[in-house]
Structure 1
Amino acid sequence: MLYERDEKVLCFHGPLIYQAKILLAEDWKGDDNHNGAVGQHYLVHYQGWKKTWDEWVPETRLLKFNEENLARQKALVDAQKAEAKVAAQAAESSGANTGASGKRDQRKPAGSSSAGRGTKRSREATDQDDSDRRPDLKIVIPDALKVQLVDDWENVTRKEQLVPLPREPNVREILQQYAQEYRARHKNKKDVSSAVLDEVIAGLKLYFDKSLPQNLLYRLERRQYVEMRQRQGANTTDTSAANSGKPSTKSRNPTKSTNTTTAESSSAQSNPTSFEMEASEIYGAEHLLRLFVNLPSIVAHSNMDAESIALLREHITGFLAFLTQERQRLFVSTYETPSVAYLRQGGL
């Protein structure tokens, strides 16, 4: 057994890591538990929590109690705090009008304290009602993908490495591959709506494209994003010059002019340059997985109804299972080390 009885460990529970203690350690064969699970399992007690939270967990949810894994624990806490801050700012922005009304209430004279308390209770009740009405998308990240998230964070923030770009397959291709796999798996079911699936895939792609620059990049990666766009912009300048019959400023022979036919011009328009590529055509599974950590707070400030939330949750669960199954193929195995000049400049 990798962990011993009474050993102090770190244990994944939901999106976070908690300190825990091993109470029992057993090697399950499949017929000695109610769900048929096999392999090494441990009964853990979470430090500072009641015994009612004690549970059996597989070895994949446990980490050794050391400085490296404590840093991972802190990183996940910091990420959740940042997510909560973004959600709070979005809520504050969307509720600007009611916020102004609240400020007027706070300026009431001291003699109206009872009325003020009534207003506060009313405001709290309204806030509670608003919270109850918000779309609630609960996403369970599989244990293998949690480990992927932590390793991804460690590679970028601690080892100062970057995901090599552009990625292959990219986010758009991965979403399409899931859609193809889903249709093949449900080809005999009449209740599978292709239109709904297409809408979910399009929505996830849109969320990714809009979220990446501000919410899905670590600080070290921002310069990489800017430099990628700048290189693509240079490519666009060269391509535009060629298509217009004008020499490029970067051409080795500025006196040489290239004329294009109507067919060539049409082809260029139907095949946009890399600068016109969206984030989903440049980034891959590593950054797409980060989206699902932020997605509940994004959806919470949308106007999605309960039925739409249920459909989205169903496909996200299936998609995360697809990522888990295909993780060896979809996730990059080696991050690249940026130049000394890049590291000296730091993030933006």
Structure 2
Amino acid sequence: MSDCREGRRGILASIGNTPLVELSSLYTGKPVKYYAKLESVNPGGSIKDRTALSMIDNAIADGRITQHTTVVESSSGNLGVGLAQICAYYKLKFVCIVDPHANAHNVNIIKAYGGRIEYVSEPDIETGEFLPARIARAKLLCQKDRDYFWVNQYSNIHNPLAHRETMREIADQLDGKIDYLFCAVSTCGTVRGCAEYVRESGLDTRIVAVDVAGSRIFPGGVAKRHFPGMGAGVRSPHCDDGLIAGYVLVSEQDCIRSCHRIVAREGLLLGASSGGVAAAVEAMQEHIEEGSNCVMIFADRGERYLDTLYSEEWIMQCFGEKCGEAFPGGGPYQASAPVVTLFDWNGGVSTEHSMDH
């Protein structure tokens, strides 16, 4: 198996080639093999290290970033950490634009790496979303100073290109036999890069995107979201429905419940989007054929969510109920069931299924 890290130096050499582990206790009944791609072992703690390195290295290579450049990006957390780490290594200045949904732990990590925080406190007037407001701030900063460079993960082609390598690793780890790949979406860089690799390599893999209720990526209505890194207030140009087999909309309670289940059954402490991916696989059980290899990309680690999705007090405050088997006496959660939408490749028609747990 080739190593994407060949030729890299320092901390950059530890980005990528993450482990793929089999999950033996999370699901029961059907003879299916479930695997988790653990992106939490990247040095910055998430899959966004790959994205950050790809975008920065390519901007350096083509001269858009020099030693005088200040790198700018709008990020809800994980990409900001990845960029802060890489900018620190390259001795570059970094400004991260965040909003009230940003994970405070991530913000403190960015500061520890020497990054500067630009805080957007009010959402976009037209949409009521913070993402357009953060993007507007990034553009404004770059207009004011020619030495500022906006990485722009939302349309930078080196975002999805980074994840062709992610998919290549998975294919190598399973000798090309991946029947299903489940991936959370936000900028859609990961799902697009993986899907393009699958198509170009001729793999017989069905890719299912996982989004959170309230996001604008897929139809389903707009609502308040608490967790960064999953869902988006604007549909990214990276999104391409023609590359996926379908999508699953999960609730934030689904994410919480599944994260607690994963801790209890597999000993993995993961972030919210990983719980969403696991909930989507659960909702898809009747569609996954026996004997399949099913891969889930778990994007980040759970330590940064201890004050939210792993806090009983926070869950009660936000949702008015206990969620997850980690809480004794919590009882069944009251979230609506995930909605599964699978595309009919022959007629181009989608079919929706509402699954009960």
Same fold judged by TM-score > 0.5?
no
Q: TM-score, normalised by structure 1?
A: 0.21
Structure with the bigger RCO (C-alpha within 8 Å, sep 6+) is 1
* Higher strand content, 1 or 2: 2
* Bigger Cα Rg: 1
* Higher helix content, 1 or 2: 1
Q: TM-score, normalised by structure 2?
A: 0.21
